[in-house]
Chain A
Amino acid sequence: MSSRALPLLFINLGGEMLYILDQRLRAQNIPADKAKKVMNDIITNMFKQNFLEELFKPQELYSKKALRTVFDRLAHASIMRLNQASMDKLYDLMTMAFKYQVLLCPRPKDILLVSFNHMDVIKDFVKDTPSILSLVDETHLQLVEMYTTLSSGEFQLIRQTLLIFFQDMHIRVSIFLKDKVQNSNGRFVLPTSGPVPYGTQVPGLIRMFSCTGEEVTRRQFTNGGNYAAALREGSFEIFGDRVTKLGTNMYSVSRQVETHMSGTSKNSSQHTKVNVAPNPLAKEELNMLARLMGGLEVQTPGNAESSFRVNLFSTDEEEEEALISRPDDLLYGVINIQATKDQQANAELAKIMGEFTEPGHQSPSSSSKGDDLLAMMDGL
């Protein structure tokens, strides 16, 4: 499997998360300054130097659980609060959207164009804040450097790695169902029409050659589809027309997006791999997570005046109902690492919280963060 898939997975999922949060903040009429703060805080943390350094190292993809934990952290890196059900829904939407984009990419290399679409919009979100914009620009440069020289075979491997990560996820998303890009069973529609990928010819032509290389015969066959010639190639520069619409922001304020759990009820005989119990993450993974999240700034959660809650559902009742009725096999099993008002009581927890950099604090060095986190898990 590819050791270069993680940065693309993270950036694209992060991009989708920002699209959705931006839509919810506007739909819930959160005051502009607060909304801006949330977006800025999250983007700052997403593109922090040491955080990304860790991410860009050649490595396997994180497990689903580990990645979900990272995004939980990221979503709470500001004054915004999300309940469990809303966070679950947010993550469902993020992952299904990116799965759709990876699957529909005409060429494997187009995954990079999808990533650049996300980067372009993220830059737009922070265009008024030069300090954050430069962080994003820096990362974009890194992406260009790291990925534009890869061969199509290497991109295909990245694509396969990502598809395996998303395998068996079939949550139905209302926007996708309405636009007829997803079927009622959760599978995405793969059209046999439209432009072929850049570099591919419309199927139908057979050419045969003599030993000297001259074309001897031409034949046509029916390709069974309705294809058109390829569009022009998207730009892989820092700025440019990406051509593909995959990865652009499909959410507008008016379109409330629903998700529907596929018919995998508790009575269903069809079971995908279920990982329900709050198993502690393997020590290695915890070490990695600690390193990663050590770089994330945490807002002191006690600031009651400015913090507010965002709901991914239309009403609070809906949100509550969603939490109760979530099917077993769709539980993410995330262990919430959150500082609570019992912080004083839980000395172990306090020690861990101290490892994360808070504004104005220096993080003390720790011998084995993995051990600490594991010990904390046992105590939960």
Chain B
Amino acid sequence: MSLIGGEAVGANAFCSLPSRDLLVVTSQKGIQLWKGTVVAGYGTGQIRLYEAVTGILHAEVNAHARWIYSLDIAPYSGLLLSAAEDSLVRVWQLIMTPESQSVEIAHLHNECVTDTQICGAKFCDADGYAFAVTGYDLTHLPPPAICPAACRTRHSQPTQAFHNPGISGLPRQKSG
């Protein structure tokens, strides 16, 4: 069963689900799998959550204003990272509710990489403590940003609030 056509996430990406043992092949990192849920990012800017086996749509998010280039999941915490050509990175929380056997998604945080079409975004660790991005025409990789305290309350108790330096290293441009 093919859930997402090649054109939805880019010419080279596809996802097919033969069984619970999911094989995801993508060159665009627009698809991720988490606890039996397929998380898919679309060229229209939507994120959709499907149950892997049945193909049932659990959630639909109008997430971005442009083509979503990258999704990443921190498996220990269930944090989801989405990045798009609209220069925004967003952090979400995936929540599995065993009683209803459904998955929910909640928005946690936005980060704008000014004037940059983001091509890739990834958590630096399995907890989702920090994430890194890269984009078109960047001459250097910005240092990773630390996820703000709000993103961490669900799974661990930090002893102090973390200051998020943002995607520092990339000069903030004044458009005026």
Contacts and interface: CB of A to CB of B under 8 A. Distances in A.
Given A167-B136, A201-B45, A224-B112, A206 B66 contact: no
Nearest to A166: B137
B116 A180 contact: no
Given A192-B87, A192-B88, A183 B43 contact: no
Interface in B44-74: 44-46, 56-67
Contacts of B64: 203
B78 to A, nearest CB: 15
Most central of B6, B8, B62, B65 by chain A CB within 10 Å: B65
A169 B62 CA distance: 33
Contact of A196 (B10, B45, B101, B110): B45
Contact of A192 (B8, B62, B101, B112): B112
B48 to A, nearest CB: 10
Interface in A180-214: 180, 183, 185, 187-192, 196-197, 199-211, 213
B2 interface: no
A189 B115 contact: yes
A267 interface: no
B106 interface: yes
Interface of B, helix, strand, loop or mixed by DSSP: loop
Given A153-B7, A203-B65, A207-B60, A183 B101 contact: no
B116 A190 contact: yes
B66 A208 contact: no
Contacts, number: 130
A368 interface: no
A156 B176 contact: no
A241 interface: no
B173 interface: yes
Contacts of B175: 180, 183, 189, 191
Nearest to B43: A152
A200 B112 contact: no
Interface in A205-237: 205-211, 213, 217, 219, 221-225, 227
Contacts of B136: 103, 163, 167
Interface residues of A, number: 48
A319 interface: no
A121 to B, nearest CB: 27
A108 interface: yes
B105 interface: yes
Interface string B98-141: 00011011110010101111000000000000000000110100
Interface string A101-132: 00100111000000000000000000000000
B138 to A, nearest CB: 9
Nearest to A106: B66
A154 to B, nearest CB: 6
A270 interface: yes
A224 B112 CA distance: 8
A206 B105 contact: yes
Interface of A, helix, strand, loop or mixed by DSSP: loop
A281 interface: no
Contacts of A213: 56-57
Nearest to A272: B139
Given A168-B137, A201-B46, A206-B105, A192 B173 contact: no
A106 B65 CA distance: 9
A222 B114 CA distance: 17
B59 A209 contact: yes
A323 interface: no
A184 to B, nearest CB: 8
B23 interface: no
A180 B7 contact: no
14 contacts: A153-B8, A154-B11, A167-B137, A183-B115, A183-B174, A189-B115, A192-B86, A200-B44, A200-B66, A203-B45, A206-B106, A208-B59, A209-B59, A223-B110
Interface of B: 6-12, 43-46, 56-67, 86-88, 101-102, 104-107, 110, 112, 114-117, 136-137, 139, 171, 173-176
Given A183-B174, A205-B62, A208-B59, 14 more contacts: A153-B6, A154-B7, A156-B10, A157-B12, A185-B173, A190-B115, A191-B175, A206-B106, A208-B102, A210-B102, A211-B101, A224-B110, A224-B112, A270-B139
In the complex, the 8 A-B pairs of residues with the closest C-beta atoms, listed nearest first: A221-B107, A153-B7, A151-B7, A201-B62, A224-B110, A153-B11, A183-B173, A208-B59
